[in-house]
Amino acid sequence: MFKITFSLWLLLCVTFSLAAQETKDDLTRLQNGEDLNVLYRHEANFGIFIHSAAGFGIAYRKGNHVTAKRKRMFETELTNFKHPKEVKSLNSNFVNSKGFIYGKLNAVFLIRTGIGFQNVMYQKIDKKNVEIRYSYFLGATLGFAKPVYLEVKKGTSPPLPSVERYNPDIHKQEDILGKASFFKGIDKTVIYPAVYSKFALSFEYADRYNDIKAIETGTILEVYPRAMPIMAFNKKQQLFVSLYLKMIWGKKWF
């Protein structure tokens, strides 16, 4: 009887030990993001991007699953924006002249905030695979137009520099010595509200299932009810279209 009781006790100990080890291994796999058969309901990511309006920006997104292959996403972006006609110039008639963009009225920065959905087109079946997703967003943009100030010559013998807000009716290219400090005129910044829509494709390649590493490319359409002046000698635009390429890093959790 003792041998039978001891054998049963030993079997139970081994069984509990194996179960505990298996539970510990499962927990470790979850913490390390090694288990494919897990749905992480929440995620957050950070991105940096370049776009066709000759600028760059930073972005933040947070989302959660609506279904297994569909997520609701909230995003915020901060970026600069340049007109395609911007060309940097240098006045060779003056020693130590600074670079400037002739005809530029305002330096433009954008803050976008929107909501959208991300859908899986091709789901990752192994850590070496790439998951392909498409997403679309709608949201609001605030465009901050800061007036451009320039150093211009005053007088002829010898010419003295004067910092003035650029006026295409007064300031000729040959009289410009260079761009003034960026912070000059920041108190005269004007805000232009807009709406935007975005469509994107992303390629997620992280080797852990709770990590996010992705490349995203897409297009953004922005509409301004009130035209935002950027360049003096070009027609004011209310509609802007840009392409972008973004690198993304982030985390998923339950």
Tell me: pLDDT of 62 over 80.
yes
Work out the average pLDDT over 40-64: 94
Which range, of 29-43, 81-95, 177-191, averages the lowest pLDDT?
Answer: 29-43
CA distance 145 to 97: 25
Tell me: pLDDT of 18 over 80.
no
Cβ atoms of 126 and 188 within 8 Å: the answer is: no
Q: What's the chain's average pLDDT?
A: 86
Domain locations along the chain: 1-31, 38-253
Query: Edge-to-edge strand order for the sheet containing 160-165?
Result: 160-165, 149-154, 176-179
Architecture of domain 38-253: Beta Barrel (2.40)
Cβ atoms of 245 and 49 within 8 Å: the answer is: yes
Tell me: pLDDT of 229 over 60.
yes
Work out the average pLDDT over 102-109: 94
Which amino acid type is present at position 35? D
Whose tokens are 């060309």? That residue is 87
Tell me: pLDDT of 132 over 80.
yes
Query: Between 197 and 83, whose confidence is greater?
Result: 197
% residues pLDDT > 70 (the chain): 83
Determine the longest span between alpha carbons in the chain, in angstroms. 118
Cβ atoms of 80 and 57 within 8 Å: the answer is: yes
